[in-house]
Amino acid sequence: MMEAGVVLDLTGEPLFWHTPRDRSVGALPDSVDLWSIFWENRYNISGFAHSHPGYGMTGPSMTDLTTFAAVESGLGKRLDWWITSGNSMVLVRWSGPERLDYTTVEVTQQPQWVEDLREISTYNRS
């Protein structure tokens, strides 16, 4: 299993699959390509989803939270952040007032693209 991610447009469709060479089972590094996609599509993105290893309910790590806050600060807008495991998914959104105050809720009706994200993660495709 290798972490992977996807940038989603305002209609919930994938814009960019993030599968950098230096990703691992426990890390999904940022890249110039990913930031370029965020910036060039800043008016047309709803958020970003990424995978976590294993099964069961997952949640954001401290690295996730600081990354979410930094991206939102750079873009000047709030995004939706989805995290998926092998069988569950959560949505993370800023709830304030502090910089890292995010709320996590379970997603029971998972979007169509989540299976592609899991496959890219599971089979270590790039």
Q: Indicate the SS3 state at residue 76.
A: coil
Please state the rounded mean pLDDT for residues 101-126: 86
Q: What is the per-residue pLDDT for 54?
A: 85
Q: DSSP letter at 32?
A: H
* Distance between CA atoms of residues 36 and 67, nearest Å: 15
pTM given for the model:
0.89
* pLDDT higher at 126 or 78: 78
Other Cβ atoms within 10 Å of 123 Cβ, number = 10
Sheet of 45-51, strand order: 14-18, 5-9, 45-51, 80-84, 89-94, 102-106
Summarize pLDDT for 18-77 with one digit per residue, the tens: 876 767 677 676 777 889 999 999 999 999 999 988 899 999 999 999 999 999 999 999
Q: What residues does each domain of the chain span? A: 5-121
Pairing type for strands 89-94 and 102-106 reads: antiparallel
